[in-house]
Amino acid sequence: MARHDAGGRALPPLPGAGRGLGKFVFVAGRAPDGRRGRALRLFPFAFGKRSGLRARLGGAAPEPGSRCPAGGRREAGGGRGQAGGRRGARGSRTAQRWDFSAREESGAGARPGRGSADSGAAGAGGGGGGEAAGTQEAGESRSRPASMGRLAPRPLLLALLGLALCRGRVVRVPSGSLVRVVGTELVIPCNVSDYDGPSEQNFDWSFSSSGSSFVELASTWEAGFPAQPYRERLQRGEILLRRTANDGVELHIKNVQPSDQGHYKCSTPSTDATVQGNYEDIVQVKVLADALQVGAVAPPEPGLSLRLGEPFELRCSASTASPLHTHLALLWELQRGTARRSVLALTHEGRFRPGPGYEQRYRVGDVRLDTVGADGYRLSVARALAADQGSYRCVVSEWIGEQGSWQEIQEKAVDVATVLIQPTVLRVAVARNVSVAEGKGLDLTCNITTDRADDIRPEVTWYFSRTPDGAWPGAPVLARLDRDSLVHSSPHVALSHVDARSYHLLVRDVSKENSGYYFCHVALWAPGHNRSWHKVAEARSAPASVDVTWLEPDYQVYLNASKVPEFSDDLTELECRIVDMKSLQASVRFTVSWYYRVNRRSDDLVASELLAVMNGDWTLKYGDRSKQRAQDGDFIFSKERTDTFSFRIQRTTEEDRGSYYCAVSAWTKQRNDSWVKSKDVFSKPVNIFWASEDSVLVVKARQPKPFFAAGNTFEMTCKVSSKNIKSPRYSVLITAEKPVGDLSSPNETKYIISLDQDSVVKLENWTDASRVDGVVLEKVQEDEFRYRMYQTQVSDAGLYRCVVTAWSPVRGSLWREAATSLSNPIEIDFQTAGPIFNASVHSDTPSVIRGDLIKLFCIIAVEGGALDPDDMAFDVSWFAVHSFGLDKAPVLLSSLDRKGIVTTAERDRKSELSLERVSVLEFLLRVHGSEDQDFGNYYCSVTPWVRSPTGSWQKEAEIYSKPIFVTVKMDVLNAFKYPLLIGVGLSTVIGLLSCLIGYCSSHWCCKKEVQETRRERRRLMSMEMD
């Protein structure tokens, strides 16, 4: 019969038609709600016992419930449909046409059921008419053109069959059969994969002793699922389910009995959208009788006592009478406390496997496992070690091979023996205290005592150390005798074997450096397997103290302070001398070390600091405290004579106060021309100290003439006294402070004149050019100074002081500042009844336009007694602060002195300044061509000069006016006048130029010539001719 697809198109016949192979229809599986399933559905028809599909694929067709080649399961419904097809084969064979349609599912998540009636009928028809249909289709295929060919190639058909058979839910239990022994525990895992629905799946377990009918055993879903015979075992905990994951569970049966032998089925309720795959799997369990016998060859003894290196053997027996073919595996275990350790094992596959730590001993044959007779197993240890002590037991397990895999069906263990390892007794003794003269030979004997009488070989090593504890094995090795009786030593050291238990060490020509502690270390070696050796014991002797005596130099050390400082920065000199020298040899030299220790009032111990040390090769090394100062030349270490060493501090500071002592070392020349320190002798300390009282400097100022008038000479003397200052010299500075009533600068201090410690006079801030020689400072005595100021003026009023600094001499011509003091003030106050001057600033134009003239008047007002204008003169200065406030420093603009000389400061602006005197008491400042930067606060300062009755001019105190704020505005009209005129002019010129260019171009360049029609000129005919 011809096949058609969903669109009605004819399809070629399947391969194998007419050879007993029914037809297949592949349709997309659908859920009851109409959604498309995940895989193709396979509907088989007319499968015989030896179908054409079996022949074409080269193997048997899958049975219901069997595994797919890819590890999956075939759809459960397919299996039942196939069964229906077989039932249909027994029916009528008359029908020649069939209706191939997809089965309807009972619903998503339902268990697969049997096929419907229609499908069964179809299966019956297919079974009966397989050959007829095949013949008909074959005929139709022969009638088609050859180009149509077959339906699909064989690989595509196999892929479609695999996809249809292997997609869907897969439930798995262990493959093959499980074998267990009576009394052991049975564990059967079951898991599911490739499923839809929730991640956590439920499992049902059933049991069948024959494999035909199953009885409910346990369930993770329904509490009432188990059958009545198993509910009691579930309640007692003998049967339980343990979930290992959302898709896995384990069935545990404790104390397995012969009645538990049979088939166990694991099934999962469906949660899939379409019924596909397999939902159950079955495993067979076989229960064997306990036929394994394990025991020790001899009853366990209380303990097997051995010595290190001795061999021992342990035995156990193991046999089985199982009806099946089983293998035995044996393991020897060592238990020490609660820890168990694997020694050596024989696996069920016949392989030897040493435990951790026994690999090397197994490879060299030190640990072996042998069989003895039919059921005996022997553990042999060639040499016992300390780690071999403990309880040994024999663990035997029984294995069986099922379908290429091994199963351990039971395990038994038996305690064999307890091994006790006794250490080897070894004692080593050397003479404790030995004294030998320098240059003689040192002979030491090492005596060995042991309880071993077998073939052992000792290894003797001699060590040397400066301390009795001996940092062994890091101490130097003098000589060694190995177990092969080979000696390893230096040329001046010999090691000999006197008898079986005595070994002599000989050191020739000893010196002082051979004094110390000697040790004898002995190790006992015993022969082992395969010509190997192992150490059974080792011990070290107590230290033997060796003192090399010699005639050391006898001398004393004396420290003397030849120069002691009285003040800071003084010179300190110490001499370290060697006295009472006895028993000196030509091969002895002396060096010195200098130490410093801080003086403390308490009893606390203070560590000494090394200042410098001289080695045996005359090299000098500085300590941390003296390194920098020695490089600067402040510390000097020298050797004056053979027996005298000196230490000099050029400038002693307060930090240098303390105790100093020296140590003289004697060095002896050795055989290799090296020098070794043999003796140290320390001197008594010398204390360097002076009273560290604070420096005191007192300055008193006095005035010989308590009252004077303007124009007279002012005189002030300063008397200096000091304490705790070494050889002081004084420098003097005269300062003047304006009286408090002067509010212009109340805190101003002016330096007038100074005199340094070398009596050099210097004018400081004295700026009165007319009185350059008007101040004098001189030194009257070492501690007294006099200051004079001639022709005093009213402006000189104020407080005068002497600032004195004391200087102490340092190295050479250097001076150090010791103290500074300030004298009491001496006041100059003129009691006059003269006029009072005030200054003010006025301007008629405080706000101007840029470019206009700014006029500022400084007006002086005189109050009090009237003065002749010729007896008054003024120094006037103008200042400006170019800001809205007075937060910036004032700028000097111009000044006019009392002689009429005008001085104008340099400016970086275009505006000009002029200053003139317009009247006796008025001064005018003009700013020509004002700019924006000329705004701000302006004020003037006035210094009056008044002629005294004697005809001299007296300078009055400087006065200041209040500031006036000047604003400079911008003239908008003038600012835009010239740009507008320039723009109009340029526009006019450009327009006229454009017209001229246009006219010229149109008149000469772009003119067109017009061609006129030429007229004929004919002469008039005469009348006669007419």
CB atoms under 10 Å from CB of 571, counted, come to: 14
Q: Does 512 lie in the same domain as 457?
A: yes
- Residue 69 contacts residue 166 (beta carbons within 8 Å): yes
Domain count of the fold of the chain: 7
Q: 21-56: buried (b, 16+ CB within 10 Å) or exposed (e) per residue?
A: bbbbeeeebbbeeeeebebbbbbbbbbbeebbbbeb
Residues 430, 543: Cα–Cα separation, whole Å: 8
Q: Does 627 lie in the same domain as 579?
A: yes
In a domain, 1001, yes or no: no
Q: Which two tokens stand for residue 854?
A: 């700014």
At 201 the pLDDT is 92
**Taking 90 as the threshold, does the pLDDT of residue 223 lie above it?**
no
* pLDDT tens digits along 729-772: 999 999 998 754 444 445 578 899 999 998 899 998 887 777 77
In a domain, 987, yes or no: no
- What letter would DSSP give residue 633? T
Q: Which whole number is the average pLDDT over 490-509?
A: 86
908, exposed or middle or buried, with CB in 10 Å at 0-12, 13-18, 19+?
exposed
Q: Does 522 lie in the same domain as 656?
A: no
**Selection from 875, 914, 873, 879 nearest residue 893 by Cα:** 879
Query: Which of 86-90, 716-720, 866-870, 894-898 has maximum average pLDDT?
Result: 716-720
Residues 665, 619: Cα–Cα separation, whole Å: 14
Where does a domain end: 533, 549, 565?
A: 549
Q: Which whole number is the average pLDDT over 929-958?
A: 85
At 883 the pLDDT is 80
- Which helix H or strand E contains 154, and what residues bound it? helix 154-166
Side by side, the strands of the sheet bearing 177-181 are 177-181, 280-288, 262-267, 204-208, 215-219
Q: Does 768 lie in the same domain as 802?
A: yes
pTM of the entire predicted model: 0.39
In a domain, 1024, yes or no: no
**Taking 70 as the threshold, does the pLDDT of residue 329 lie above it?**
yes
Residues 416, 381: Cα–Cα separation, whole Å: 15
In a domain, 1021, yes or no: no
Q: Does 800 lie in the same domain as 668?
A: no
Q: Which whole number is the average pLDDT over 961-984?
A: 81
At 247 the pLDDT is 94
Q: Which of 109-123, 152-166, 220-234, 560-574 has the lowest mean pLDDT?
A: 109-123
Q: Does 498 lie in the same domain as 354?
A: no
Nearby residues of 1015 by Cβ (< 8 Å), 6 or more positions away: none
In a domain, 184, yes or no: yes
CB atoms under 10 Å from CB of 896, counted, come to: 21
Q: Which whole number is the average pLDDT over 126-141?
A: 35
**Taking 80 as the threshold, does the pLDDT of residue 362 lie above it?**
yes
- Which helix H or strand E contains 127, and what residues bound it? helix 117-128
Q: Which of 285-289, 402-406, 751-755 has the lowest mean pLDDT?
A: 402-406
Q: Does 435 lie in the same domain as 381?
A: no
Q: Which of 63-77, 479-493, 596-610, 897-911 has the lowest mean pLDDT?
A: 63-77
In a domain, 1013, yes or no: no
**Selection from 862, 866, 864, 890 nearest residue 877 by Cα:** 890
φ, ψ (nearest 5 deg) of residue 731: -115, 140
Where does a domain end: 943, 972, 1001?
A: 972
**Selection from 122, 136, 105 nearest residue 45 by Cα:** 122
Q: How confident is the model at residue 817 (pLDDT cuts 50, 70, 90)?
A: confident
Range of the domain at 307: 292-422
At 681 the pLDDT is 93
Q: Which two tokens stand for residue 746?
A: 């109340």
Q: Which of 536-545, 562-571, 641-650 has the lowest mean pLDDT?
A: 562-571
Q: How confident is the model at residue 37 (pLDDT cuts 50, 70, 90)?
A: very low
Residues 593, 681: Cα–Cα separation, whole Å: 10
In a domain, 638, yes or no: yes
At 80 the pLDDT is 36
Q: Does 213 lie in the same domain as 149?
A: no
At 159 the pLDDT is 56
Residues 178, 193: Cα–Cα separation, whole Å: 22
Q: How confident is the model at residue 663 (pLDDT cuts 50, 70, 90)?
A: very high
Where does a domain end: 166, 184, 216?
A: 166
Q: Does 757 lie in the same domain as 721?
A: yes
At 1022 the pLDDT is 58
**CATH code of 921's domain:** 2.60.40.10
Q: Does 602 lie in the same domain as 468?
A: no
**Helix/strand/coil for 136:** helix
At 698 the pLDDT is 93
**Selection from 738, 732, 798, 796 nearest residue 764 by Cα:** 732
Side by side, the strands of the sheet bearing 836-842 are 836-842, 854-863, 922-928, 912-917
Q: Does 372 lie in the same domain as 346?
A: yes
At 471 the pLDDT is 64
Nearby residues of 160 by Cβ (< 8 Å), 6 or more positions away: 26, 40, 152
In a domain, 150, yes or no: yes
**Taking 60 as the threshold, does the pLDDT of residue 1 lie above it?**
no
At 21 the pLDDT is 32
**Taking 50 as the threshold, does the pLDDT of residue 143 lie above it?**
no
Nearby residues of 500 by Cβ (< 8 Å), 6 or more positions away: none
Residue predicted with more confidence, 1 or 333: 333
Q: Does 855 lie in the same domain as 929?
A: yes
Q: Which two tokens stand for residue 761?
A: 């006079």
- Residue 933 contacts residue 970 (beta carbons within 8 Å): no
User: Mapped to the 3 state alphabet, what secondary structure does 361-404 carry?
Assistant: HHHCCCEEEEEECCCEEEEEECCCCHHHCEEEEEEEEEEEEECC
At 999 the pLDDT is 85
**Taking 80 as the threshold, does the pLDDT of residue 907 lie above it?**
yes
Q: CA-CA distances (angstroms) from residue 22 to 16, 48, 95, 422?
A: 9, 9, 14, 86
**Selection from 526, 346, 371 nearest residue 454 by Cα:** 526
- Which helix H or strand E contains 967, and what residues bound it? strand 964-969
- Residue 120 contacts residue 98 (beta carbons within 8 Å): no
Bridge pairing between strands 390-402 and 457-465: unpaired
